[in-house]
Amino acid sequence: MHHTNQSLTRVWELGGLLKRTDLCWRTATLLSTRQALSPDVERHWVICGEKRRDFPLQVLTDAHLKRIIQSFEGYERRLIESLVCVGPLVPELLAGLSEHLVPLKKGKALSKAETDVQDNLDKMSWLIPARKQFSANPNGLWQTKPVFFANLTDSKWSVLFVALAQRFGITAWDWQLSLLNQQIETLVPRMTRASEAAGGMGKVARWLRALNPQQRKAWYELAQMTKRFDDLKAQEVLARFLAILASTIHQDHISALQNLERMRAPLRLRWDLENWIVSDAYGEIRKALGSHAAGHFPEAVYSLPVSTGPVKTFAPSATSVKSQTKAPTL
C-alpha cells in the first residue's frame, strides 16, 4: 500500500488528537513534497525552518538498526540480516575469485559530503569494517551507480545511499543477486575443493576460518537467500532497506524524496520511503535519538485542514511490487 493525500490527512488529524506532534510534522513534510500542503499550515511549516534546517548525520546503534530490520518480514528480513552480518566481508572473497574486482585506493575524497558520510559510517558499531574496499570500477565511488537509478546527484543523501551499498558489499556483485549466487554455486565450491586438496590453505579456506560463528552462519544463510529472490525483487528489497537506513541517518526528508525523483528511482521506492517516514518504527527511533523535537506547530495549527492544495499524481511503473513497509498504527 501507499499513502494517498486523503490517508495522510487522516494521519494528521489523528496525530493532532493524540498529541503526536512529530508525526504531524512528518506528515506535513510529505504533503509539502507533493505540493498538496494547505497554505495555512505551510506558512507555519516554512517559518519553523524545515527547508532551512541543517540535518546532522545520526549515529545509529544496534538497537536502531534492529528496529529498522524488524519492519521487514520473512525472507526479506533474513536477506537483510545476513547481508548486515557478513555482506561487508564478501567482496574480499569474490576478489580472490575474480580479476574484475580490484581494491579501491584510499585517496582524497571527492567532496566534503563524501568525507562526512565516510566518517559517520566509521562510527557505526554494527557496520563491519572491511580490511579493503573492492569495486569493478576502481576510479571512484560515483562509478557504482545502482542499476535502478537513471543518474546520481551530489547531495549528501545520494552519497550516503551509495556509500552504504559499497560498505555492505552490494556493489561488488553489481546489485545482481544472481551474480552472487553464480559465484557461490560454481566458483566457491570449486575453490573450496582445491583448498582442501592443498591442505586447507587456499583463499576460500582462509576466508572461512576468519569468520566468527555468527558470520559463518550468516554466510550460509546469505547463500540460501540468493536462491529465493530474482534480481528485480532483490533490488527492490535492498533499495528499500538502504533508502530507509540512509533517511534514518540523514533525516532530511525533503532531500531524500526529491533526490529519488531526480534520480528517476522506481515509484515504488518513493512510496516505500514515504511509508517509513510516517511509520511508528521511525517515530520511535527519532524519539530515541532526540530528533523528534525538531519541529512543532503552534497548538491552533493542528485543527487546520492540512491538505487543500493541488494534488501531485504519479503513475506506477510496470515493475512496481506491493510494499510491506507498514504505515503508522494510530
Q: Which of 21-25, 131-135, 197-201, 310-314 has the lowest mean pLDDT?
A: 310-314
Average pLDDT, the chain: 83
42 with 93, same domain: the answer is no
What is the pLDDT at residue 51? 63
What is the pLDDT at residue 243? 97
**Separation of alpha carbons 212 and 210, rounded Å:** 7
177 with 77, same domain: the answer is yes
Mean pLDDT across the stretch 231-242?
96
Of the candidates 5, 23, 1, the one whose C-alpha atom is nearest the C-alpha of residue 287 is 23
What is the pLDDT at residue 183? 82
**Separation of alpha carbons 322 and 244, rounded Å:** 16
pLDDT over 90 for what percent of the chain?
54
Q: Is 196 inside any structural domain?
A: yes
What is the pLDDT at residue 106? 59
How many structural domains comprise the chain?
A: 2
213 with 298, same domain: the answer is no
66 with 125, same domain: the answer is yes
Q: Is 247 inside any structural domain?
A: no
The DSSP H or E segment spanning 102 is: strand 102-103
46-62, pLDDT tens digit by residue?
Answer: 877 666 567 899 999 99
268-324, pLDDT tens digit by residue?
Answer: 999 999 999 999 999 999 999 998 877 778 888 888 889 864 444 343 343 333 333
Burial (CB count within 10 angstroms: exposed 0-12, middle 13-18, buried 19+), residue 308:
middle
140-197, pLDDT tens digit by residue?
Answer: 444 467 888 888 888 999 999 999 998 999 988 889 999 889 888 876 665 556 555 5
What is the pLDDT at residue 318? 36
Domain boundary among 232, 265, 285: 232
Domain boundary among 176, 198, 232: 232
Please say if the pLDDT value at position 330 is more than 70.
no
Domain boundary among 172, 202, 232: 232
pTM reported for the whole predicted model:
0.86
Domain residue limits at 220? 62-232
